[in-house]
Amino acid sequence: MIHLMIDDKPIEITEGRSLLEACRENGIDIPTLCYHPALEPYGGCRLCMVELFQPPRKSRLVAACVYPCEEGLVVKTHSEMVLQSRRLTVELLLASAYNSPDIIALADQVGVGEVRFKLPEENNCILCGLCVRACKEITNISAISVIQRGMAKKVSTPFQVASSRCISCGTCVLICPTGAFKLSDVIGVRSDVPGEPPYLRRYYRVGSEIDLRPNFVQDVALLLGRKRDTE
Amino acid sequence: MQVLSVTEINEIINQVARGEGSLIAALEEIQERYGYLPPEALILASERLGVPLSQAYAVATFYNAFSLKPKGKHCLNVCMGTACHVRGSPQVLDRLETKLGIKTGETTRDRLFTLETVNCLGACALGPIVVTDGEYSGQMTPQKTDQLLRNIIRAEADR
Amino acid sequence: MNRLQSTSDFQTWQAAMAASWDETRPCLRVCDGTGCRALGSQKVLENLRAELARTNQDTPIEVVGTGCPGFCECGPLVTVYPQRISYQKVKPEDVSAIVQKTLIGGEVIQELLYTDPQTGKHIHLEPELPFYQKQKRFVLDFNGRIDPTRIEDYVALGGYTSLVKALTKLTPEQVVAEVKTSGLRGRGGAGFQAGVKWELCRKNVQKTGIGYIICNADEGDPGAFMDRSVVEGNPHLLLEGMIIGAYAIGIEQGFVYIRAEYPLAVENLRIAIRQAEEAGLLGTNILGSGFDFNLGIRLGAGAFVCGEETALMASIEGRIGEPRPRPPYPAESGLWGKPTNINNVETWANVPMIIAMSGLEYAKIGTEKSKGTKIFSVVGKINNTGLVEVPMGITLREIIYDIGGGIPNGKSFKAAQLGGPSGGCVPAEHLDVPIDYESLNALGAIMGSGGMVVTDEDTCMVDFARYFMTFIQEESCGKCVPCRVGTKAMVATLERICAGEGLPGDVDYLLEMGEHVRNNSLCGLGQTAPNSVLSSIRYFRSEYDAHIFDKTCPAKVCKGLISYSIDPEICNGCMVCLRNCTSNAISGARREVHTINPRLCTRCGVCMNVCKFDAVVVA
């Protein structure tokens, strides 16, 4: 067992767990966006930063979802350094997701003031990577990935056309924290020309030419609609 | 125009395949051979090396070395490293963009020239540098770039 | 040659090579590194070989293409042995004079010599050049002397004897101890104690049974070419360092991750690895010691972020170059989840020397906390652009003025940017700072990997910071929010300031967002991204204020804040500027005063360059 202090509270936890897990199991609230208990931690949104004290080093911010619990750590989850960090991170999220109800709610929660930087194009995708990671780790399909680099980064299918691997399970749509994904964006289509050897299958036909006959989309959309009603 | 040969692409991939992590090396070889990454090559590499196509495509779009579009016959690379910047490489780039009528990263309509920038070639004493088809020209100025373009066009006309 | 089966085989071979090496023989050594190639060294080499073939000599005179000896400003460089007469800026046409007058006639050609700007005197010999006086060229010793594509040259001068010493006289633990004692700190920029890292990795490898070593040759800092020069000019030095490291840590497989933008370095490295394998210095049962080690090359694919160690490893694994959170550190879990030791080229290149002289002796060089030498690529507004190697503790002033020859055209020094885009600037008031890790950190700069860009009074520090910030922002992998969006926010602010649209709160925003990006980013790229901006605000706040409040650019660089005009008193109407203007902004007939239309003028500066009468004025 490992012993550490979080917000002046002594915590005991088994080995190999992260600071975030320690917090969540002890009722300490930390906001997250890119974290999901069913997936490997990513450390991308930087919303879960906590202040770590390891004298003689100066205290520093670390991402709770990926930082391992170690014997003797001293952590603060609501210090001024942490609160300021959350405010600025959410302010940066609002640069593109400025109309997203989920992000706006988060902004109210952490106390964001003025949004000082806005990008020209609105985009509710905050690149948390949950959809891509779920498609890989949960369903093992890997139909989508994050392409390009930096500000041009986005979630896409190969060649940015309808995927032929996607099985229309809808996991990506369900797991998205901002509702940036619509099922119509990622829809599975298999080649409808029988007998074509795999590498000649024309994966990269333009979207509009592909026969959109989704197998289970209707059912999943209904499922989603029902889920939203009961929330 | 390069003819795409599936056999050749497979050969390249097999030669390079040496276990985990060969994807980037395979793509580099293909890029070198064809001047870009044809979609067929990405698909073949992904299948042969057991890597999801989405990962292969992500890799192809992440790294600057890869191009998914065919390039022009002559590649002009302007070094935009600090030393070159301080010695006037933006003016050189400006000049090339104006004279060729394209922006950085683009290819002229006649597919003769592709203009790109590169972040520091490490030959900083000779800045600004323009690399044309692998050949380095140092201490470039806007006037010297005019001459460079003239030389290439003249050589093409003589062909 | 036959594969060496034992260390005594090697010693026999080494003795034979050493015996046949003779620097008192007439020989021409020509720098054939990338820099000099861009200035035409290959044609010089070609002409030399042709000219020598034409003249009949009793003993053939060798012409050797070497790696970079460092004096890049004066290339192409030809050094005539045995005297070591140093000829500078040699053109292909100068070759026949060199052969006829100097080699055969014994005469020195004055026009090709270096002229000391202080005394006006010609310097004949390479060791007497002021450029070299304060340098301690230990790692770069063989550059400029050997042919990098010949292992025989490296061995003749003592290469691989450190490896033999390690294999025969030291246990792996003792090698680690020597590196620890030496105090060698990572030369990639972080400055972590290399020996401590090796020891940690060794412990973990013993637990897992397998590990890797990697050489980080992804030198991406603009303005830095130290690593390129070592790999181009003396690749076996790197190999020897890595083989010793593999022996010490207990590794069987290593990789050199090198930028594809360094084709000559890659080529010379490939040749060197092949030669080492043929000689039995790489592969199975090295020199009969029972120790196996293989080295592979992995090329970078054009991503600066892959210089960050976890992104580098992701790239080797065939994935996109996204960094991973640390802990766990690579020494515990690295390539394919196994313990991995990654070091920079220069760090590995110091190892043979440490083993040869002992860690204790090495620790006598440098300062108390920063041991050994450091290689810098000194570029920008400096007279002697080039590659220098200096002992830690030397002052910046000595590098800029004594070695660098000061600022050209009588301009005054403004600042030196150390560490590239991740680094900070050191202004004139701190010229006497000793070059060591702690002193530089205290000033808000970093040692970095060795890129040193010098600026003068004509450099706008706001534009300079904007340049670095833009570079970093474009190279950001995009995984984490602070770096991806925060750097963009900072770039947008800097662009506004440089365009004359700065607002009163802008500098405070840059400071606040800069701190946020630094403290919250996932990897070293994001964590150091704001450095150049933060340090330029610290020392050059007045320039920022001038841009924002006075709407002027004191250095007259930022296009939105300057205007070009033609002095009617000087202009004689020659029309040269008019013809060269790409925006058709200049009007005027022959022999009449020309005028520039400010609305069409793009402030490209070409008119100023071409006017022979200095009639173009910037305000």
Cβ burial, residue A55 (10 Å; 0-12/13-18/19+): exposed
C239's torsion region: left (phi>0), alpha (psi -120 to 50) or beta? alpha
B23 touches chain A (CB under 8 A): no
Domain boundary among C412, C433, C456: C456
CATH code of domain B74-158: 3.40.30.10
| Residue-wise burial string across A102-136, b where 16 or more C-beta atoms lie within 10 A, e elsewhere | bbbebbeebebeeebbebeeebbbbbbbbbbbbbb
Q: How many CA atoms lie within 13 A of C344 on its CB side?
A: 28
Main-chain phi, psi angles of C441, to 5 degrees: -60, -40
Of the three residues C409, C432, C456, the one that is the final residue of a domain is C456
**How far apart are the CA of C484 and the nearest CA of chain A, in angstroms?**
6
Nearest CA in chain C to B91: C604
Please tell me which residue of chain A has the smallest CA distance to B40. Answer: A199
CATH 2.40.128.110 fits A130-192, yes or no: no
Task: Using a CB–CB cutoff of 8 Å, tell me whether B123 touches chain C.
Answer: yes
**If you measure CA to CA, which chain A residue comes closest to C491?**
A117
Q: Do C302 and B63 touch (CB under 8 A)?
A: yes
Residue in chain A closest to B51 (alpha carbons) equals A142
Q: Which of A88, A121, A142, A153 to mutate to test the interface with C (most CBs of C within 10 A)?
A: A88
DSSP state, residue C72: G
Token pair 């000595």 in the structure block, residue: C398
Task: Give the amino acid at C513.
Answer: M
The predicted-structure confidence for A187-228, as pLDDT tens digits, reads as follows: 433 444 555 443 333 333 323 333 333 333 333 334 344 444
Task: Please give the residue of chain B at the shortest CA–CA distance from C455.
Answer: B86
Q: Which residues in chain A are classed under CATH 3.30.70.20?
A: 130-192
Residues C177-195, buried b or exposed e (16+ Cβ, 10 A)?
bbbbbbbbbbbbbbbebbb
Show the tokens assigned to C288.
């009969």
CB contact under 8 A, A127 and C475: no
Q: What is the CATH number of the domain that holds C232?
A: 3.40.50.11540
**pLDDT more than 70, % of chain B:** 90
Confidence class for position B20, pLDDT limits 50, 70, 90: low
Contact assessment for residue C305 and residue C311, using Cβ atoms and an 8 Å cutoff = yes
Same-domain status, C209 and C328: yes
Q: Rounded mean pLDDT of chain C?
A: 94
The answer to whether position C602 is within a domain reads yes
Domain with CATH 3.10.20.740 in chain A: 2-78
Q: What is the pLDDT of residue A184?
A: 55
Separation between Cα atoms, residue C282 and residue C309, nearest integer Å: 25
C485, A146: Cβ pair inside 8 Å? no
Average pLDDT over residues B13-37: 84
User: What count of CB pairs under 8 Å joins A to B?
Assistant: 44
Residue-level pLDDT at B3: 64
CATH assignment of the domain containing C444: 3.10.20.600
Name every chain B residue with its beta carbon within 8 A of the beta carbon of A142. 52-55
Chain C positions in Cβ-Cβ contact with residue B125 (cut-off 8 Å): 35, 72-73, 75, 379, 385-386
Mean pLDDT, range C196-213, rounded to an integer = 97
Whether a cis peptide bond, with omega within 30° of 0, leads into C82 is: yes
Q: What is the pLDDT of residues C89-136, one digit of tens each?
A: 999 999 999 999 998 888 999 999 999 887 889 999 999 999 999 999
| pLDDT at residue A185, rounded to an integer | 57
Task: Write out pLDDT tens, residues C262-311.
Answer: 999 999 999 999 999 999 999 999 999 999 999 999 999 999 999 999 99
Q: Worst-scoring range by mean pLDDT, B64-73, C198-207, C465-474? A: B64-73
Residue % of chain C over a pLDDT of 70: 100
- Return the amino acid letter for C593: V
Interface test with B, best of C225, C294, C484 (most B CBs within 10 A): C225
Residues A210, A213: Cα–Cα separation, whole Å: 9
Q: Count of CB contacts below 8 A, A vs C?
A: 94
Structure tokens at B132: 């044309």
Instruction: Please identify which residue in the block is written with the tokens 């920038």.
Output: B117
Identify the bridge partners of residue A10 per DSSP, sorted by sequence position: A5
Whether the CB of B63 is below 8 Å from some CB of chain C: the reply is: yes
Cβ partners under 8 Å of residue A171, min gap 6: A131, A134, A135, A138, A139
What does the pLDDT average to over B102-126?
Answer: 81
Q: What is the pLDDT of residues C541-573, one digit of tens each?
A: 999 999 999 999 999 999 889 999 999 999 999
Out of A61, A92, A146, the one facing C481 most closely (by C-beta) is A92
Give residue C270's pLDDT. 97
| C474 and A CB contact within 8 Å | yes
Select the residue of B44, B57, B62 nearest A199 (Cβ to Cβ). Answer: B44
* C313, C198: one domain: yes
Chain A contact present for B90, CB below 8 A: no
In a domain, C555, yes or no: no
B52 touches chain C (CB under 8 A): no
**Is the CB of C35 less than 8 angstroms away from the CB of B126?**
yes
Domain that holds residue C517: 461-550
Rounded to whole angstroms, the Cα distance separating C231 from C187 reads: 15
Percent helix, strand, coil in chain C, to 5, is: 45, 15, 40
Alpha helices in C370-460 (DSSP H): 396-397, 437-442
- Distances in Å between the alpha carbon of C292 and those of B20, C243, C458? 21, 9, 56
Run of H or E residues at C376: strand C373-380
Instruction: Report the number of distinct structural domains present in chain C.
Output: 5
- Identify the CATH assignment for A2-78 out of 3.40.50.300, 3.40.50.1820, 3.30.870.10, 3.10.20.740: 3.10.20.740
Q: What is the mean pLDDT of residues C187-208?
A: 96
Our CA-based measurement puts residue A156 at a distance from the nearest CA of chain C, in whole angstroms, of 15
CATH code of the domain containing C64:
3.40.30.10
Q: Would you state the torsion angle of the CA atoms of residues C361, C367, C371, C374, taken in this order, to the nearest 10 degrees?
A: -120
CA distance linking residue C453 with residue C467, whole number of Å = 13
Q: Residue C539: how many CA atoms within 13 Å on its side-chain side?
A: 22
- Find the helix or strand (DSSP H, E) in which C254 lies: strand C253-258
User: Stretch C436-464: mean pLDDT, rounded?
Assistant: 95
Instruction: Enter the DSSP assignment of C403.
Output: I
The token pair at B76 is 């002009």
pTM: 0.89
Q: E strands within chain B?
A: 74-79, 113-118, 130-132, 135-137
d(CA A9, CA A78): 13
Q: Is C229 on the interface with A (CB under 8 A)?
A: no
Q: What is the pLDDT of residues A147-173, one digit of tens each?
A: 999 999 999 888 887 677 777 778 888
Contact of B125 with chain C, judged by CB distance below 8 Å, is answered with yes
Q: Does residue A2 carry a pLDDT above 90? A: yes
